[in-house]
Amino acid sequence: MLMKEYRICMPLTVEEYKIGQLYMISKHSCEQSGGGEGVEVIRNEPDTHPQYGPGQVTEKRIYLSSKLPYWMRTFVPRIFYVTEKAWNFYPYTITEYYCSFLPKFSIRIETRFENDNGQNDNVFGDAPTPKENVCFLDILSDSIPDKNYKKSEDLSYWKSEKTGRGPLQAGWRNCSQPIMCSYKRVQCSFEVYGFQTRTEEFIHKNIRDILLVGHRQAVAWTDEWHGMSLEDVREFETELQRETNNKMKNNQVTVVDSPSRPSFSRSISVTDEHSLKKMGVPTITIPDDTPSSPSSSSLKSPMRLNSTPE
């Protein structure tokens, strides 16, 4: 299991970001949905936690087959999704990701929002994260994938008319007011011998890019959401969820109706190369990685995967 703590500062208050986060997630999900991929909202309803009090629980399906590297696509079904479950007890949230097709795959993200510039070394209150596992992400200067770049979201040009904030300049994290930090402790696991290290590094790279893009957008879109009430943003969230789900339903019909490689209802073994070749599934050879945890070294038998997603 590979664990990292990401710290992302923004020129906002924690109270402001309560609205900005909901707005950003809804709009971003809608923008990213299309062509058979994106986010489908299954559940979004109030919930109460015995420790954290009232909040919101959401469940989503994230379709992303084409975003996987080639070496993973060789054994992943054409219609592939990850389930996201999130418990929002703001300013503390828990988000978990899993996939029934890959039972050894999981991601857990704990988040704390604080009105500081990221200098709290034990924000979760249990034990400090080792310094080598702490990653500061700068929404101004850190690189993002070229496909995600938009000048309107470049914070070196950003200027908020409603708040008078921006543009951001080098060293802004040490002098900006207001300022807050999103602390995210991310644990990802893919305990399949020969795939573990490469896959976990791939997951963290994508998480880093998603966090940078999302937090940049939350700031760049400040004038769109600033001044909205919680009721306003929930109404906006519901409207965009309906639009996003409609996109996904229409696109999935197209994907299902298009030619695709045959699906199999029986379980197969990732390491059963002979069986895969008989069924016409291409195989590749990947050098064994050194197991990164004691638990992974005990995986002597092939991992069983159900090749038809539930």
Q: Decide if 271 is inside a domain.
A: no
CA 308, CA 11: separation in Å to the nearest integer? 45
Residue matched to tokens 């539930």: 310
Q: Is the pLDDT of residue 263 over 70?
A: no
CA 62, CA 48: separation in Å to the nearest integer? 25
Structural domain boundaries, residue 9 = 2-242
Structural contact between residues 39 and 29, judged by C-beta atoms closer than 8 angstroms? yes
Confidence of residue 255 (pLDDT cuts 50, 70, 90): very low
Q: Is the pLDDT of residue 144 over 80?
A: yes
- The string of pLDDT tens digits covering residues 98-127 is 987 777 889 999 999 999 999 999 999 999
Closest CA to 203 of 284, 104, 293: 104
Q: Is the pLDDT of residue 266 over 70?
A: no
Closest CA to 107 of 92, 124, 94, 122: 94
Q: Decide if 180 is inside a domain.
A: yes
Is 144 or 99 the better-scoring residue by pLDDT?
A: 144
CA 111, CA 300: separation in Å to the nearest integer? 35
How do beta strands 134-137 and 2-10 pair?
parallel
Q: Is the dihedral of CA 275, 264, 43, 30 positive or negative?
A: positive
Q: Decide if 298 is inside a domain.
A: no
pTM score, whole prediction: 0.76
Q: Is the pLDDT of residue 187 over 90?
A: yes
Confidence of residue 264 (pLDDT cuts 50, 70, 90): very low
3-state secondary structure the chain: CEEEEEEEEECCCHHHHHHHHHHHHHHHHHHHCECCEEEEEEEEEEEEECCCEEEEEEEEEEECHHHCCHHHHCCCCCCCEEEEEEEEECCEEEEEEEECCEEEEEEEEEEEEECCCCCCCCCCCCCCCCHHHEEEECCCCCCCCHHHCCHHHCCCCCCCCCCCCCCCCCCHHHCCCCCEEEEEEEEEEECCCCCHHHHHHHHHHHHHHHHHHHHHHHHHCHHHHCCCCHHHHHHHHHHHHHHHHHHHHHHHHHHHHCCCCCCCCCEEECCCHHHHHHCCCCCCCCCCCCCCCHHHHCCCCCCEEECCCC
Q: Is the pLDDT of residue 295 over 50?
A: no
Res 258: pLDDT: 42
Q: Decide if 93 is inside a domain.
A: yes
Q: Decide if 30 is inside a domain.
A: yes
Structure-token pair, residue 92? 């503390």
Count of domains observed in the chain: 1
Q: Decide if 231 is inside a domain.
A: yes
Res 73: pLDDT: 61
Res 293: pLDDT: 40
- The string of pLDDT tens digits covering residues 193-212 is 777 888 888 889 999 999 99
Q: How many CB atoms lie within 10 A of CB 201?
A: 14
62-66, 234-238, 285-289, range with greatest mean pLDDT: 234-238
Q: Decide if 293 is inside a domain.
A: no
Q: Decide if 262 is inside a domain.
A: no
Res 13: pLDDT: 98
Q: Is the pLDDT of residue 280 over 60?
A: no
User: CATH number, domain at 18?
Assistant: 3.30.530.20
Res 199: pLDDT: 84
Res 78: pLDDT: 59
- The string of pLDDT tens digits covering residues 212-237 is 999 999 999 999 999 999 999 999 99
When pLDDT is averaged across residues 239-247 and rounded to a whole number, the result is: 86
When pLDDT is averaged across residues 23-29 and rounded to a whole number, the result is: 91
Q: Is the dihedral of CA 195, 197, 198, 200 positive or negative?
A: positive
Q: Is the pLDDT of residue 286 over 60?
A: no
